[in-house]
Each structure stands twice: as C-alpha cells, then as structure tokens.
Chain A
C-alpha cells in the first residue's frame, strides 16, 4: 500500500498502479495542447535532489513539474557511495527547512531515499537508488506496454541483460508481476541474482529460449566499462550472445515490441537498426515518462497541504 512517498513498486498494489496509469493517460493529453501547462501545482516547489547525475530522469521530472506549474529546483550535491549517511541526511534536512512540497531523490546507494523520507516533512519520490528500485521507470514501462498492447495481463515480458545490478529490472519485475504478466529474465549466469525465481519469474541463460513467444523484449544497459572481463568475457561476446537484433527477435512474437531504459549502447544491447526504429519504442518510453511523472506528482501532492480542510 502506498503512503505519501513513492519509494518502490514493491510497496504498491495493483489498484495503485492502475490509478497512476489511468491518471497518466489524461496527463499525456496536456502535452498536445497549445499551452502545455495546467495550473494544478501553482505555488508548489519541487526539488530534484540528485546525488547521482542523470540528465534524462532529472529533465523528465523537471518538465513534468513545470507542466503542472510547480516551481522546480535542481540540486545536485556531490556525493559518493562513501559519503557518510549523516552528511546526506544533513543535506536533506537543510533542503527541508526551505519547505519544498515534494523531493525527488536519486542516489547511488540503495535505501538512501527511504532514509531521507524518514527525516523529511515533504513526500519523497525515489528516482533510482543503487540496485534497489526506480519506480517511475517501471511505471512508464508499464504505461508504454499497455498503450502498445492494450493490456498487461497475460503478456510475456522478457528482460535481458544485467539483472543483478539493475534497479530498472527489479522495479519492472515487481510491476509486471503485479499487473499479471509473465516475467522472464535472460542474462549470463553471474548477472542473474541468486534465488530470483522465488519472486515468481523464470530465469534463462539462453536468449532464444527466453524470447520464445515473448510480447515484450526489454533490454537493459550493460555498464561495459565496469563489468567487461568480470561478468562476461568481452563486450563483443555479450553482444553476440545477448544482444537483440532482427534475427534474434524472430524468436519472439511477430508483434513483439522492444524496450530499453536508455541510454542504449548501440551494437551491444540492441543493434543499431533496432535502437532507432520499430518495433523499438524507446522514444515513446521517454515521452510517456513525462506523463507518468506528472501523474505521480499530481497524486503524491494531494497529501501536501498542511492543515487544510478536514
């Protein structure tokens, strides 16, 4: 059950997710207007607190906030995984003293948004914490799939790549399972978390088997600079075994769509051609991200007012 914060998909139930998707459906229409702005959050302040740089997610939240007329402030303090929790919380408390109405937090360490939420007055939205969760990414992925396929229930979704380090994978596993999809994972064995099947997913080390009959193929970014040589022998070998191109896509359903949270390593996770053209829906994911974040800000900010009408 969701409280006033949005820390992870794990905390949501199906009706919460459906309500967010439904709200996002209507938010998308605002982006098509002459004036792409509604006065809903006029006079409210949204702080983007990004300890880890992320142009895409931060920009998406910024546009979402501005379309709802919130004042958006970006704050990117320097911080590493070695920074003491106390100094992170100090930063958060300092911000809180300036009375923001919602704080979007990204940090390289899992659990930091939760720690910050515990000390803040303002609601906290997790924009990605370590390998834990990235709830708005999963919501926009669910939204994109539902728009493409008309449903999520009963679909087969294959997530390919670095599952073990991926907050996107974790949030999507929770999200797609809660919405009634079958979730499959495909990766080199070291990139599949131990005991992941207890979540209710099926893990494969053969891409071909994992793709068989899939409706949705979701490739994850490989951080090749960090992992080549340790988790897989070489980037070239990864691309040959787990890269998606039109040939491997033939194992999936004819109308399968291809997704990627971006940025794509072209020629590694996806072939150059797939990175830019249907059936990949990568730019739709980006566009839908704004609608989803508008929906989340709208729904979260309903609890913002202090001492309003009972």
Chain B
C-alpha cells in the first residue's frame, strides 16, 4: 500500500478525472459543451463586462453561418453523393448534424454524419501526465473514395485537425478531405488551412473560445463565447476567489 498512497503521487484515475473539469490548453479544443457551465455563469457574470465572457456568435448567428456553409459545400462539390461529414467531438457534433439537415433541406440529399474522437492521436499525450477522457467514435459508413468534411467548432493551432486526419486515414482512403471551422482563431502551429470558415475571430492566444449549449444538439442556448483564459480555467473555488478581489 505504501506505493499506492505514498510518494505524493496523485492517483492516475482520480487525477485524470479532475483534469476533465478544466479545459485543456495544450490543444486547440478550447470549446466544450457543458450545460452546467452555462447555467452557472449566466446570472453571475454579465456579458460584455470587462474581462468577462463575450458572445462571438449567438444561436441565430450560428444557424445562419451553418446554412451559408452548407450552400458553399454544395457549390464546390461536383458529386454531393460522395459527401461524408465527420464531426470532431464535442463541439463539432451539433454543427455537423445541422449542416447535414441544411443539405437535406437545400438539396434533398442525405449525407452521412460520423463522429471521430482524436484523443488517442493527440501529439501531447507524451507530455501530459493525466489521461484525457476518451469520447465516442462512430463512423457509420466507409470513408474510402468519399469527400470527407471534418467539422470542428473552433480551430486554432491546427493540431486537432492533424490528429483527425491521421485518425481518418486509419478508417480508409478518402478521395478528398476538407475542413469546416465555425470559428478560425488564427495562431496556427501546423500548415493547416480551413476550406469553409464560419467566422474569423482574432483572439489573443490565452483567451478561450467555447461553444456553449446542450451536448450533441443544436438548440436552446448554443453560442460561442470568448472569455479570458483565467475565467475559463476556474472552477467554483477559484471563481469565488476572484470575486473576492483576487488577481
């Protein structure tokens, strides 16, 4: 037992759980979908307050943007029958589903929607002590010969897209891979470009941009919110500490 509880090493499983409560800053997956957070923060911190969260796109804005992107995809795709939308969880999932609905509405086509977790392909796994939680991967149809469109909410460094491309290739050989980003923040660290961009949002690297709303579904309070990274990192205790006049 001495080894298990001694040495001051945190339990790996517990530590990993704790890590889930704070957003990762190693990757460009700043956005998470936690309803709790919406409800927790909305009353206490007025939007637009100095250093407080700021809405970049509200629900209507997101819907309009995704409709435009659906039109652009059709415009640029010769054979829409080959389309395959692959969402990067969690933020990409409701977006990909909405784009699929739009494509059905505009062109009457049914486009397959897959979900591809990139966690096991991350390039920072060797440097992070705590293991990130895995998320669902569900690829309902084969990718061979398809026009695969990766859908993510916020693209920053490009590392998640790199991981997603590697993961995708393990499922087969797509004809083309393209990328939709609802928001492009810049700060690229890899040579990745977006094919369809919802909105370019210049941000400072240490700010956080997150998609808020119900997990998996685009309804209700979905919005993209920009917040200073210290706010994004806070849990309940540090948030109340800040209210008490902390840094």
Residue ranges of A at the interface with B (Cβ–Cβ < 8 Å): 1-5, 7, 11-12, 15-16, 19-20, 22-23, 26-27, 29-30, 33-35, 37-40, 43, 68, 114, 117-118, 298-303, 305, 308-309
Other-chain residue from A33, A34, A308 in contact with B128 (beta carbon distance below 8 A): A308
Listed stretches B7-15, B64-72, B230-238, B239-247; interface member: B7-15
Closest to A3 in B: B4
Residues of A within 8 A of B16 (CB): 19, 299, 302
Other-chain residue from A1, A7, A301 in contact with B5 (beta carbon distance below 8 A): A1
**Interchain CA distance A40-B135 in the complex, whole Å:** 15
Residues of B within 8 A of A305 (CB): 126-127, 129
Listed stretches B31-39, B165-173, B180-188; interface member: B165-173
Residues of B within 8 A of A29 (CB): 137-138
Closest to A44 in B: B126
B1-59: which have CB < 8 Å to A? 1-5, 7, 9, 11-14, 16-17
Q: Are A303 and B129 in contact (CB under 8 A)?
A: yes
CB distance from B100 to the nearest CB of A (A): 21
Q: Are A299 and B120 in contact (CB under 8 A)?
A: no
**Interchain CA distance A299-B117 in the complex, whole Å:** 17
Residues of A within 8 A of B14 (CB): 1-2, 15-16
Q: Are B13 and A15 in contact (CB under 8 A)?
A: yes
**Interchain CA distance A303-B10 in the complex, whole Å:** 10
Other-chain residue from B125, B130, B136 in contact with A26 (beta carbon distance below 8 A): B136
Q: Are A299 and B12 in contact (CB under 8 A)?
A: yes
Residue ranges of B at the interface with A (Cβ–Cβ < 8 Å): 1-5, 7, 9, 11-14, 16-17, 117, 120-121, 125-131, 133-138, 166-167, 169-172
Q: Are A2 and B171 in contact (CB under 8 A)?
A: no
**Interchain CA distance A38-B5 in the complex, whole Å:** 31
**Interchain CA distance A111-B126 in the complex, whole Å:** 31
**Interchain CA distance A22-B16 in the complex, whole Å:** 13
Residues of A within 8 A of B13 (CB): 2, 12, 15-16, 19-20, 299
Q: Are A26 and B117 in contact (CB under 8 A)?
A: yes
Other-chain residue from A4, A30, A308 in contact with B12 (beta carbon distance below 8 A): A4
**Interchain CA distance A299-B120 in the complex, whole Å:** 12
A33-B170, A299-B131 given; 7 more Cβ-contact pairs under 8 Å: A4-B9, A7-B4, A22-B134, A27-B134, A39-B166, A118-B3, A308-B126
CB distance from A17 to the nearest CB of B (A): 9
**Interchain CA distance A1-B16 in the complex, whole Å:** 13
**Interchain CA distance A15-B17 in the complex, whole Å:** 9
**Interchain CA distance A118-B6 in the complex, whole Å:** 11
Closest to A67 in B: B120
**Do A26 and B128 contact each other (CB < 8 Å), given the known contacts A2-B12, A15-B17, A40-B120?**
no
Q: Are B137 and A26 in contact (CB under 8 A)?
A: yes
The contact sample of 25 A-B pairs, CB cut-off 8 A, is A1-B4, A1-B11, A1-B14, A2-B11, A3-B12, A7-B4, A11-B1, A11-B4, A22-B133, A23-B131, A23-B133, A34-B170, A37-B170, A39-B121, A43-B126, A114-B3, A298-B120, A298-B131, A299-B12, A299-B131, A302-B128, A302-B129, A305-B129, A308-B126, A308-B129
Across the A-B interface, give the 5 residue pairs with the lowest CB-CB distance, nearest first. Answer: A302-B131, A3-B4, A26-B134, A35-B170, A38-B120
Q: Which of B5, B7, B11, B128 has the most CB of A within 10 A?
A: B11
Residues of B within 8 A of A299 (CB): 12-13, 16, 131
**Interchain CA distance A16-B7 in the complex, whole Å:** 19
Residues of B within 8 A of A118 (CB): 2-3
CB distance from A115 to the nearest CB of B (A): 11
**Interchain CA distance A97-B5 in the complex, whole Å:** 25
CB distance from A13 to the nearest CB of B (A): 9
CB distance from B233 to the nearest CB of A (A): 15
**Interchain CA distance A68-B170 in the complex, whole Å:** 13
Residues of B within 8 A of A3 (CB): 3-5, 7, 9, 11-12
CB distance from B169 to the nearest CB of A (A): 8
Residues of A within 8 A of B117 (CB): 26
**Do A38 and B4 contact each other (CB < 8 Å), given the known contacts A15-B13, A299-B12?**
no
**Interchain CA distance A117-B6 in the complex, whole Å:** 13
Q: Which of B120, B166, B169 has the most CB of A within 10 A?
A: B120
**Interchain CA distance A4-B14 in the complex, whole Å:** 11
Other-chain residue from A34, A117, A301 in contact with B172 (beta carbon distance below 8 A): A34
Residues of B within 8 A of A298 (CB): 120, 131
**Interchain CA distance A303-B135 in the complex, whole Å:** 20
**Interchain CA distance A40-B128 in the complex, whole Å:** 12
**Interchain CA distance A5-B128 in the complex, whole Å:** 18
CB distance from B121 to the nearest CB of A (A): 6
Q: Which of B13, B14, B131, B171 has the most CB of A within 10 A?
A: B13
**Interchain CA distance A300-B131 in the complex, whole Å:** 9
**Do A34 and B11 contact each other (CB < 8 Å), given the known contacts A11-B4, A23-B134, A117-B3?**
no
**Interchain CA distance A12-B131 in the complex, whole Å:** 17
